């Protein structure tokens, strides 16, 4: 077996998209953006939600027309050549070592709300997460898709319940509006942090071949998931600004108990928010693990990386590539545990990598898609450049990666061409 079989439908894809974006940040990122921008966080989430829609549309159009396990790397290669495409693919693979620990660290904040973890037990919990990801992926992404669709419904239900229980009235809204004085510099910082919440759109494109009908289902799945997630982040941010919360722990837990103080759910905030936070965090890392494994498999087939990773198991899963991705993740988790880690810095560096991937995908769309989509593409480019400006010096990590990888990819291509000429 050397081809990945399509097993995902539209609604399962929308569930994958939503839980991937909600993921680790759904009950954490609103709190982090409020910490830096106060009421300006709401403006930041509103801008992000509007601005990400053209980006999601472009990714959906590209994936539906050019389904491939390499995702954005394939789009960039078709538009600008193999060196550019392979560079994009490798920087995506190399963001996993910093992105995965950040995602798992955020997930463990919810676990700490249920069971406090100290010293080495935190490391044990992180490695158990890696083993769980192995179990979720080894039988194929369709198993995860069904579970993550149910998880999306659960998160939407809880957020809707909290919003309904808040009983917000016009006087409260008027008071909030008068007290709100967003500052552009803090809103920009919040934008840079909040961009993490929309990482995952590009990961879905790696799974296009896993869809039964990528030409019909990819675009609506990506768009539905993205819009739903934007609404949920706006709702969570608004709730945290309107109700008193615990600033030291997970704020959504105290908001849950405050808003549902008159119901039978009072006192269960840690359990409900904790379980949903852990599950959604696992969902995000799960999709990235599957996406990275498929990209590694694709590069292995093309001879860019060793042929060792090309084999699929009976479920059509590139299991050697999956073991490689999860194994490297485990190594980095151990290293970051003993060296110490700054969550905000890991998030910012990861965001910088994805800004470049998104921008190059948008530029590829300008060449690959019909000219009638140019306004969407231009809007997506402006969004990416704006986020890059907001991240400022945190873009240095991806710039170093490109400076190292691009020349190597050019040399590899030239070397292979010389070998072909010598043998012909």
The CATH fold of domain 10-399: Amino acid/polyamine transporter I (1.20.1740)
Q: How far apart are CA 236 and CA 238, in angstroms?
A: 5
Give the pLDDT confidence score for residue 289 in this predicted structure.
80
Residue 53: pLDDT above 50? yes
Q: Is 47 exposed, middle or buried (0-12, 13-18, 19+ CB in 10 A)?
A: middle
Q: What is the mean pLDDT of residues 51-57?
A: 89
Q: What is the mean pLDDT of residues 373-397?
A: 89
User: Which DSSP symbol is given to 6?
Assistant: P
| Beta carbons of 280 and 103 less than 8 angstroms apart | no
Q: How far apart are CA 45 and CA 37, in angstroms?
A: 11
Residue 181: pLDDT above 50? yes
Helices (H), 302-395: 319-339, 343-368, 374-391
Task: Kindly report, residue by residue over 274-314, the tens digit of the pLDDT.
Answer: 888 888 777 777 777 877 888 788 888 877 788 888 888 77
Q: What is the mean pLDDT of residues 150-166?
A: 82
Closest Cα to residue 110, out of 269, 252, 257, 274? 274
Structure tokens at 343: 């969550």
Residue 366: pLDDT above 90? yes
Q: What percentage of residues in the chain have a pLDDT greater than 70?
A: 87
User: Which DSSP symbol is given to 195?
Assistant: G
Query: Average pLDDT over the chain, rounded to whole?
Result: 80
Q: How far apart are CA 341 and CA 105, in angstroms?
A: 9
Give the pLDDT confidence score for residue 418 in this predicted structure.
79
Residue 187: pLDDT above 60? yes
Q: Is 212 helix (H, G, I), strand (E, B) or coil?
A: coil
Q: How far apart are CA 19 and CA 200, in angstroms?
A: 9
Give the pLDDT confidence score for residue 1 in this predicted structure.
41
CB-based contacts of 203: which residues, under 8 Å, 6+ apart? 20, 71, 287, 288, 291
| Beta carbons of 298 and 72 less than 8 angstroms apart | no
CB-based contacts of 202: which residues, under 8 Å, 6+ apart? 59, 71, 72, 92, 354, 357, 358, 361
Strand partners, 8: 211
Task: Kindly report, residue by residue over 123-143, the tens digit of the pLDDT.
Answer: 888 888 888 878 777 765 555
Residue 168: pLDDT above 50? yes
pTM over 0.85: no
Residue 227: pLDDT above 80? yes
More confident site: 95 or 169:
95
Largest CA distance in the chain: 80
- Band (341; pLDDT cuts 50, 70, 90): low
Task: Report the sign of the C-alpha dihedral through residues 398, 403, 405, 406, in that order.
Answer: positive
């Amino acid at each position: 077996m050397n081809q990945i079989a399509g097993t995902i439908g539209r609604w399962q894809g929308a569930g994958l998209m939503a839980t991937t974006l909600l993921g680790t940040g759904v009950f954490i990122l609103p709190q982090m953006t409020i910490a830096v921008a106060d009421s300006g966080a709401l403006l930041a989430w509103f801008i992000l939600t509007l601005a990400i829609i053209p980006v999601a549309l472009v990714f959906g159009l590209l994936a539906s027309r050019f389904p491939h396990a390499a995702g954005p790397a394939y789009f960039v290669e078709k538009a600008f050549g193999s060196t550019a495409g392979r560079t994009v693919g490798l920087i995506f693979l190399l963001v996993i070592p910093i992105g995965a620990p950040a995602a798992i660290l955020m997930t463990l904040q919810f676990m700490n709300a249920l069971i406090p973890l100290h010293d080495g037990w935190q490391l044990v919990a992180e490695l158990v997460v890696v083993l769980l990801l192995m179990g979720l992926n080894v039988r194929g992404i369709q198993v995860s898709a069904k579970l993550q669709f149910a998880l999306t419904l659960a998160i939407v239900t809880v957020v809707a319940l909290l919003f309904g229980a808040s009983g917000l009235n016009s006087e409260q809204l008027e008071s909030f509006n008068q007290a709100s004085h967003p500052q552009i510099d803090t809103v920009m910082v919040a934008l840079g942090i909040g961009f993490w919440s929309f990482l995952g759109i590009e990961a879905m494109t790696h799974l296009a071949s896993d869809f039964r009908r990528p030409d019909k289902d990819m675009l609506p799945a990506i768009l539905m998931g993205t819009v739903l997630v934007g609404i949920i982040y706006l709702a969570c941010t608004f709730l945290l600004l309107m109700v008193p919360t615990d600033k030291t722990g997970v704020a959504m837990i105290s908001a849950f108990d405050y808003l549902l103080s008159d119901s039978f759910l009072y006192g269960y905030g840690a359990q409900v928010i904790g379980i949903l936070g852990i599950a959604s965090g696992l969902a995000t890392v799960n999709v990235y693990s599957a996406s990275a494994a498929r990209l590694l498999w694709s590069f292995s087939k093309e001879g860019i990386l060793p042929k060792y990773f090309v084999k699929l198991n009976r479920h059509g899963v590139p299991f050697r590539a999956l073991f490689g991705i999860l194994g490297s993740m485990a190594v980095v988790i151990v290293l970051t545990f003993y060296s110490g880690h700054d969550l905000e810095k890991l998030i910012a560096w990861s965001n910088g990598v994805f800004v470049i991937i998104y921008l190059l995908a948008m530029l590829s769309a300008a060449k690959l898609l019909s000219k009638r989509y140019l306004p969407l593409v231009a809007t997506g480019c402006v969004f990416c450049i704006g986020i890059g400006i907001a991240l400022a010096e945190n873009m240095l990590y991806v710039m170093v990666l490109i400076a190292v990888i691009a020349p190597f990819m050019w040399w590899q291509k030239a070397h292979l061409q010389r070998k072909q000429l010598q043998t012909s």
